[in-house]
């Protein structure tokens, strides 16, 4: 199932361009835990970004190809195709989004493996909103 969530206008934060104007990002959230994926997506939509959600690796790759997002927030420990494999495949594409691992795997070896697989950054769940704001500012 692929869902695009509606925004919540009460939350207003978007990435800022160098000129100070609002920049809305295209973001793909990938997590087999629907509550986690949808919670993150709702927060991002509240910040007025365009967000799509995928619940497995195959969906993630299809949406990535169709939408060419600016940012992918990707869980690692998913059944079937895990996040490491998804990141390897996405990082080889002509269009390269900023890939961020958002996972329960937080040991130094997990971070090293994530970066070696093509992720640009690695965060442990639950991601703090201030960390998420930092990611948005770097994209």
**The domain that contains 90 carries what CATH number?**
3.40.50.2300
| Residue 1 within a domain | no
| Residue 77 within a domain | yes
β-bridge pairing 71-74 and 50-54: unpaired
Across the strands, what pairs with 83?
none
| Residue 5 within a domain | no
pLDDT band for 3, please (50, 70, 90 cuts): very low
Chain centroid to CA 129: 13
| Residue 39 within a domain | yes
Predicted confidence (pLDDT) per residue in 19-57, tens digit:
444 689 999 999 999 999 999 999 999 999 999 999 999
**Do the Cβ atoms of 99 and 119 come closer than 8 Å?**
yes
pLDDT band for 16, please (50, 70, 90 cuts): very low
pLDDT band for 10, please (50, 70, 90 cuts): very low
| Residue 14 within a domain | no
Q: Which residue is associated with the tokens 């809305």?
A: 24
Predicted confidence (pLDDT) per residue in 77-117, tens digit:
999 999 999 999 999 988 889 999 999 999 999 999 999 99
| Residue 16 within a domain | no
pLDDT of amino acid 19: 41
| Residue 11 within a domain | no
Q: How many domains does the chain have?
A: 1
Predicted confidence (pLDDT) per residue in 114-133, tens digit:
999 999 999 999 999 999 99
pLDDT of amino acid 68: 97
| Residue 108 within a domain | yes
pLDDT of amino acid 23: 83
**Do the Cβ atoms of 4 and 51 come closer than 8 Å?**
yes
pLDDT at 59 > cutoff 60: yes
pTM of the model: 0.84
């Amino acid at each position: 199932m692929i869902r695009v969530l509606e925004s919540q206008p009460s939350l207003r934060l978007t990435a800022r361009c160098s000129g100070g104007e609002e920049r809305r990002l295209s973001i793909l959230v990938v997590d087999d835990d629907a509550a986690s994926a949808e919670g993150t997506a709702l927060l991002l939509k509240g910040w007025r970004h365009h967000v799509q959600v995928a619940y497995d690796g195959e969906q993630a790759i299809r949406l990535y190809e169709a939408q060419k997002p600016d940012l992918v927030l990707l869980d690692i420990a998913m059944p079937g195709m895990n996040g490491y494999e998804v990141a390897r495949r996405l990082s080889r594409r002509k269009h390269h989004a900023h890939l961020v691992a958002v996972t329960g795997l937080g040991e130094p070896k997990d971070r090293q493996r994530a970066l070696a697989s093509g992720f640009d950054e690695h965060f442990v769940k639950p991601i703090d909103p201030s960390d998420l704001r930092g990611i948005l500012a770097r994209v």
